[in-house]
Amino acid sequence: MRSHKSVHISNPETFKNQLLLWSQKFDEVVWLDSNNYTQKYASYDAVLAIEAFTSIQTDYYDAFEQLKVYQSSTKDWLFGYLSYDLKNDVELLSSKNFDGLQFPELCFFQPKKLFFLKGNTLETHYLNFVSDELEDDLKQIESSATSIAYEKVLEQSDIKIKLRVHKDEYFEKVNTVLSHIHRGDIYEANFCQEFYAENTSINPIEIYNNLNQISKPPFATFLRLYDKYLLSASPERYIKKEGRKITSQPIKGTAKRSLNPAEDNQLKKELSEDIKERSENVMIVDLVRNDLSKTATKGSVKVEELCKVYSFDQVHQMMSTIISEINDTTHPVDVLKTTFPMGSMTGAPKISAMKIIEELEVTKRGLYSGAVGYFTPDSDFDFNVVIRSIFYNESEKYVSYSVGGAITAKSDPLKEYEECLLKAKAMREVLEGLGKVKSKK
């Protein structure tokens, strides 16, 4: 069904830039980049999937069952996303808040053309009926740095970022979450807020490149589906399946970086010892263990790493790694369905937290705090968590990014607000710092 070819790439970083630039002439694009970040469970340095041969696009109703049928019948590489609002398919929940982006709630496609980069080796996987286009494509890719006439020329006005929830209202809402915690309704809730710009045109590839350059995260994503774009600098893996092994790596706990090495090490040490941050992380680890146990073989759920601090260009983050094993008969989509949405973006207990979040947040999350990733022909998968991300609806000229934080009994509303601004820093800098943008001819 697919023809494979391996090509030696002398300069992978240059080739990555050329490949992503070339992809901009297609309507369906998923680009995943690990930015050479050292991580135990990495499969590829970068992946590009383009041009849908078949696809599925739906709202939340019966979405996981539809995805199961599509994945089972296709048995090929599938790329796409799960939006946060698929929670309504899993539980008796609803999403009625404002949605300025209008992304479909689930979308996957079977790409005609695939590129996998690992070290100096490029693997191409083309569907047979387009395999004769490979040589021409490689020539175009190599020349794309100098010939980008197909890139859009956009006049970008100065972007005015607005807050959907202002500071005083944010404090009120966090205090409401705290009252739920003190009453015993929940232990923790991930409360999020949206920043947005209307009547705005941006150059998605330039915004993505700048965001990625600032953050260099291990789960960077550029996704395009016609007029809708995701530009993501995510540091977090949601879940991975490799054979019978399932791996989930929730992040909870954030600290700023310092240019002074001694101060930076001190900030990292303080995060690793912070009782509030550790308790946030441990609560989510318990939730993930419970979720994984729904499909795991008996006794196979284990915590491989607990509250380990990893450093990224913008922030230090506290991460845990939980693993399990499943039976050969367990469908991969069932693993997703029983763990979605990821605990790091909901709270605990999960259903109660999601109900409270829906009442207090004023924006529909959509793809934010959902997941982007892929299935392999062998029914393995790998998905990130969609955070640190800019969303763009080109037709509506609407740009958005959201940030959130875990509220626990020890939370201080002011510190939570400051943490949100820290997480939003890269997105705001990229959007406001560009001013007028014109693509070069």
Give a yes or no: residue 154 inside a domain: no
Q: pLDDT tens-digit profile of 253-264?
A: 889 899 999 999
Residue 112 included in any domain? yes
Give a yes or no: residue 441 inside a domain.
no
Q: Which of 80, 198, 99, 101 is nearest to 393 (CA)?
A: 101
Question: Is position 339 within any domain?
Answer: yes
Structural domain span for residue 342: 2-148+160-433
Q: Confirm whether 387 is domain-assigned.
A: yes
Q: What SS3 class is residue 294?
A: coil
300 sits in which H/E element: none
Contacting residues for 354 by C-beta, under 8 A, at least 6 apart: 87, 91, 93, 341, 346, 347
**Residue 338 lies inside a defined structural domain of this protein:** yes
- b/e map 26-44, b = 16+ CB within 10 Å: bebbbbbbbbebeeeebee
* Tally of structural domains, the chain: 1
Please give the pLDDT value at position 36: 87
Q: Max alpha carbon distance in the chain (Å)?
A: 65
Say which CATH number the domain at 96 has: 3.60.120.10
* Burial (Cβ within 10 Å: 0-12, 13-18, ≥19) of residue 66: middle
pLDDT in tens, 26-75: 999 999 999 988 777 778 999 999 999 999 999 999 999 999 999 999 99
Active-site residue, from 188, 194, 206, 236? 236
pLDDT value, residue 240: 97
CA distance 123 to 419: 40
Active site residue 87: no
pLDDT band at residue 147 under the 50/70/90 scheme: very low
Which residues are within 8 A (CB) of 415 and not within 5 positions of it... i.e. 6 or more apart? none
- Active-site residue, 194 included: no
pLDDT attached to residue 145: 59
Catalytic residue among 16, 87, 240, 252: 252
Mean pLDDT in the chain? 92
**Number of Cβ atoms within 10 Å of the Cβ of 291:** 22
Split at pLDDT 50, 70, 90, the class of 156 is low
Q: Is 438 inside a domain boundary? A: no
Give the whole-angstrom CA distance, residue 105 versus residue 151: 28
Residue 439: inside a domain: no
Q: For tokens 């019978």, what's the residue?
A: 244
